[in-house]
Structures are given as C-alpha cells and as structure tokens.
A and B are shown apart, each in its own frame.
Chain A
Amino acid sequence: MLENHDLQFAAAIVLMTVATYFTRAGGLFIISRVTPSPRIRAFLDHMPASILVAIVVPTLIGKGPAELISAGATMLTALYTRSLTIAMLTGLISVSMLRALVFT
C-alpha cells in the first residue's frame, strides 16, 4: 500500500470525507426522487422522533438513580417550559448535584 505517512494520511482524510458526505447527502438524493405516498409520508413523520428515541434509550442502560432522575427532570422541564436551554440546565445541574450530594 502507500509507503509515505503523509500520503496515507491524505488518502485517509479524502476517503473519510467522501464517506461522511455520502451519508449526509444520500438521504436527500434518494427521497427527492420519489413522490411521497401517504405511507411514505407517515414513515417520514414518525422517523425523526424514532431516531431520537433510538439515540437516547441505549445511553440510559446501566445508569444509576442520579442519571435517571435527571433524565425525568429534563423531560418534565422540556414539556412545561418548551425551552431547550432551561431543560438542558435543569438536567445538567440535577445530575451533578445528585451525584455530588445524594448518590455519591
């Protein structure tokens, strides 16, 4: 394969950039070529929240009470204030406080 480290690095960067951009652009490329039927419409409506569920749930596995209580507090704050900043601060403050003071 490539001998020179700089060449290897350049090749790695180019390929990694191509791989990443392919995934970022590919979804629009495909979906812009179909006219959504009601079924595809419903799929697209439910997918974003499902992706978020999929991102969140495995990160809660094996977490302790401090994290789970903070997760609940974040949810309630987000629901009632509709503010991302306030919900984030609530979650961060509660997880650090609970870890430091209660579940040490």
Chain B
Amino acid sequence: MKPKLQFQEKSKVKFSREGMFDGFLKCVPLGLGVFVYGIVFGMLAVQAGMTPFQAQIMSLTVFAGAAQLMVLELWAPQLPVLALFLTTLAVNMRHLLMGAAMRDWLVHIPPGKSYFSLFFMTDESWALSVKEMDSGKKDAGFLLGSGLCIYSFWNFATFVGSSTSFWMDKYLADPAVLGLDFAFTIVFIALLTFFWRGKAQIPVWMIAAATALLAFTLFPGKWYIIFGGLAGGIAGALRNA
C-alpha cells in the first residue's frame, strides 16, 4: 500500500516551464524591493573598498543579501577570510529551515532540479513559494522561477549601485523618503497574513514571536529567525501530536 501511495503523491508534483514563468512574474513586486537594497549594497561595497567587478562577482556567486551587507563591516585591505566565511555561515543558517520547509515539493522532483533550485532560494522567493505550496499548488518550478527573478534584480541592482554610486548617493541616500526602508517588513507581513487559518494558530505564533524577540535581544545576526521558526514549529508539533 505504501509505495503506491507515494507514487500517487509523487506523480502530482511537477517541475514545469510554466511554473517557472509563474514564479518569476509573481516575484517581480518583491524583486523591486530587493532592487533597492541591491543598489545600497553596490554603493556600500564600493565605499568599503571593493571594485565594481568584485561586487558583481560576489552578487553572482554568493547571492545572499543580508550576508553580503554584513561582511562589508569586515572588509579591509587584508581580508579576514575565516571571519568572512563564519559570518556568512551564521547569517545564512536560517536557510536550513527554509529548505526543509520546501520538502513537499522538492523530494518529489529529480534531486538535480531540487538542488539547482535551492542555489537561488532567498527569503523573498522562499516566502512566496512556501505560500504557493501551502495553497495547494503542485509545480516546483515556481521556486526556481521566483529565485531567478530575485537573482536578476539583485545582480542588476549591484551593477547599477556599484558603477553609478557617484551620482546615486544624492538620490538614494535616504530610502525612508519613499517608505522603502519599511518595504521589507511590509512584504513579509503580507505573506504572513496569507498563512492565517484562524484563532487556533495564535498560541503558536505568539510563541514564535516571543522566542524571536528574546533571541533578537540576546544574539547578533539573524539567529532570531531560526529560534522563532524552531519554537513555533515545535509548539505546533506538540499541540497537534
């Protein structure tokens, strides 16, 4: 019985070009928000002593906004290579949970496609994709498409920010004017709202919020995301078990 059930489950998840296009297009509004921070990264990278070429290489290979901005603090003529590695690892540790959360799509398509898609997974494209998965959609191409969308915006913005920082400084010095400093929060509030099913979730969300706040005050970097996600997940598992 069990293999048959798995076969049926497996046959439902696909990885199509249509799914990729769908993910790419739906992610464009989030890409625009990423674009602003990409410009900020490009500008700050040049100010920190990177060449525009180096900033571009970093955005093409590392492709992790928060980590890239964080390592600029450590950038110096003699690069602290080990510290750069550990900082990147710590800042990105949250992706472990996000990747695991995509299980229902990614274990049912060929591993090559899954692990290729994961290279492009960001907070934004993950949040959009997990919402899509949660609403019952079965096309894993969505994760790659939305990831490629963010990749395009981030890299184009790195180019614009690093190569034109001499005049961009004037106009983008204060993103608060357009409310863009708050855009990140707004996007994630909207995505979170889509997960609302009813009052039964309140205790789990409260535990996630309280744990995240506590970790936010105690630890540097992005550890609070991991602690909040784990606490909420465990609370949910204990309630439902």
Contact A9 B79 (CB under 8 A): yes
Give chain B interface residues in 77-106, CB to chain A under 8 Å. Answer: 77-79, 81, 84-86, 88-89, 92-104, 106
Chain B residues in 8 Å Cβ range of A39: 237, 240-241
Q: Mark B191-209, 1 if CB is under 8 A from A, else 0.
A: 1111110000100110111
Q: With the chains together, A21 CA to B95 CA distance in Å?
A: 9
Q: Mark A28-62, 1 if CB is under 8 A from B, else 0.
A: 10111000101110111111111111111111110
Distance to closest chain B CB from A79 (angstroms): 5
Q: With the chains together, A50 CA to B214 CA distance in Å?
A: 14
Q: Which residue of A lies closest to B50 (CB)?
A: A9
Chain A residues in 8 Å Cβ range of B107: 28, 31-32
Q: With the chains together, A75 CA to B104 CA distance in Å?
A: 27
Q: Cβ of B127 < 8 Å from any Cβ of A?
A: yes
Distance to closest chain B CB from A65 (angstroms): 13
Chain B residues in 8 Å Cβ range of A101: none
Contact A24 B95 (CB under 8 A): yes
Q: Which of B37-45, B148-156, B178-186 contacts A (4 or more CB under 8 A)?
A: B178-186
Q: Mark B98-136, 1 if CB is under 8 A from A, else 0.
A: 111111101100000011001101010001101000100
- On chain A, the number of residues with a Cβ less than 8 Å from chain B's Cβ atoms is 68
Q: With the chains together, A31 CA to B121 CA distance in Å?
A: 17
Distance to closest chain B CB from A6 (angstroms): 9
Q: Which residue of A lies closest to B120 (CB)?
A: A24
Chain A residues in 8 Å Cβ range of B121: 24
Partner of A42, one of B128, B209, B236: B236
Q: Which residue of B lies closest to A86 (CB)?
A: B190
Partner of B123, one of A45, A55, A96: A55
Chain A residues in 8 Å Cβ range of B177: 96
Central interface residue in A5, A50, A84, by most chain B CB within 10 Å: A50
Given contacts A54-B225, A54-B232, contact A74 B186 (CB under 8 A): yes
Contact B99 A27 (CB under 8 A): yes
Chain B residues in 8 Å Cβ range of A57: 209, 212-213, 228
Contact B236 A5 (CB under 8 A): no
Contact B189 A78 (CB under 8 A): yes
Distance to closest chain A CB from B188 (angstroms): 5
B-binding residues in A (CB < 8 A): 1-2, 5, 8-9, 11-13, 15-28, 30-32, 36, 38-40, 42-61, 67, 70-71, 74-75, 77-79, 82, 84-85, 87-88, 91-93, 95-96, 99
- Beyond the given pairs A28-B114, A91-B190, 20 more chain A to chain B contacts, judged by CB atoms under 8 angstroms and listed by A's residue number, are A1-B81, A12-B84, A13-B57, A23-B92, A23-B93, A27-B102, A39-B241, A42-B237, A42-B240, A43-B233, A44-B100, A46-B237, A50-B208, A54-B212, A54-B226, A58-B224, A71-B189, A75-B193, A88-B190, A91-B182
28 contacting pairs across A/B (C-beta < 8 A): A8-B79, A12-B85, A16-B84, A20-B64, A20-B67, A20-B92, A23-B92, A26-B96, A28-B106, A30-B100, A32-B106, A36-B103, A45-B240, A46-B240, A50-B204, A50-B231, A50-B233, A51-B232, A52-B195, A54-B208, A54-B227, A56-B185, A56-B188, A78-B193, A84-B128, A84-B191, A92-B186, A96-B177
